């Protein structure tokens, strides 16, 4: 935590950090027991586990108790922590079964509000998508056409890694051609597993990295290309190794 210039860390701040670690690691254990994935990443996975939750309702109550703590921090840092706790609380609510809209979740997780696209622009995009679907031989009804298109372009889970190999090679080659300084000995592996995120990039050091792709959602060829370019080259892995 940052945001205070005090030489001695206040007891209230130390207690809050300890309590939050207990809630976060307890929630991580609960997610792993229920769904087989971790919420925490990297070194955070090695934190001691001192609290266990039997349900997400218990996680919600524990997070609400944290939110009431008065911390000796500047206003900006207080707002950051409040936003972090709100996002954590929202995630627990969703896991507990609350039916939040997509926009409500975007607001909680990303602190984005008043997202507005003019209806005329949306209608123009819908019309264009319908025309493209019809031209490709699908229904121009967006819901039906897109679902059919996704099914025909779907990549089976057991073939995702092998399909990503040529995409990685092409993305690295094209990144170098565009002048992006990707070291020659960079090596990136792709793994597919159940996870709370769509895709994630881990950099391990020594020019090695891993891109994790979720096994919980359908992947199309186009979605794989987009995520590999974002997570690997010219995205996160390229910036980490450079």
Sequence ranges of the domains in the chain? 11-110, 157-241
CB distance 12 to 36 below 8 Å:
no
Q: In the predicted model, is pLDDT for residue 234 greater than 80?
A: yes
CB distance 208 to 187 below 8 Å:
yes
**72: burial class by Cβ within 10 Å (0-12, 13-18, 19+)?**
middle
Q: In the predicted model, is pLDDT for residue 6 greater than 60?
A: no
Per the prediction, the chain carries an average pLDDT of: 90
* Each residue's pLDDT tens digit, 114-169: 777 888 898 999 999 999 999 999 999 999 999 999 999 999 999 999 999 999 99
pLDDT (mean) for 166-177:
95
Bridge partners for 190 per DSSP:
211
Q: How far apart are CA 93 and CA 102, in angstroms?
A: 14
Res 169: pLDDT? 95
Res 9: pLDDT? 67
Q: In the predicted model, is pLDDT for residue 84 greater than 80?
A: yes
CB distance 203 to 236 below 8 Å:
yes
Give the 3-state DSSP-derived string for 81-115, with helices as H, strands as E and coil as C.
HHHHHHHHHHHHHHHHCCCCCHHHHHHHHHCCCCC
Res 3: pLDDT? 45
Q: In the predicted model, is pLDDT for residue 230 greater than 70?
A: yes
* Each residue's pLDDT tens digit, 195-213: 878 899 989 989 999 999 9
The torsion angle over the Cα atoms of residues 203, 205, 208 and 212, rounded to 10 degrees, is -20
């Amino acid at each position: 935590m940052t945001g205070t210039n005090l030489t001695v860390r206040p007891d209230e701040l130390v207690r809050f950090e300890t309590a939050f670690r207990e809630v976060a690691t307890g929630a991580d254990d609960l997610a792993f027991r229920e769904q087989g994935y971790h919420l925490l990443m990297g070194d955070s996975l090695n934190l001691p586990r001192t609290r266990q939750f039997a349900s997400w309702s218990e996680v919600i109550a524990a997070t609400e108790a944290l939110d009431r703590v008065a911390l000796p921090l500047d206003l900006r840092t207080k707002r950051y922590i409040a936003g972090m706790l709100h996002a954590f609380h929202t995630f627990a609510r969703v896991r507990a079964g609350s039916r939040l809209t997509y926009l409500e979740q975007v607001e909680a997780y990303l602190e984005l509000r008043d997202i507005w696209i003019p209806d005329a622009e949306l209608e123009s995009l819908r019309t264009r998508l319908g025309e493209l679907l019809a031209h490709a031989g699908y229904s121009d009804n967006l819901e039906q056409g897109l679902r059919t298109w996704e099914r025909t372009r779907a990549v089976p889970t057991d073939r995702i890694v092998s399909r990503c190999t040529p995409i990685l090679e092409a993305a690295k080659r094209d990144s170098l051609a565009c002048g992006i300084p990707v070291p020659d000995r960079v090596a990136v592996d792709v793994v597919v597993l159940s996870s709370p995120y769509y895709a994630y990039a881990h950099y391990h050091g020594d020019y090695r990295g891993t891109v994790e792709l979720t096994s919980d959602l359908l992947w199309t060829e186009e979605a794989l290309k987009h995520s590999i370019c974002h997570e690997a080259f010219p995205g996160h892995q390229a910036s980490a190794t450079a």
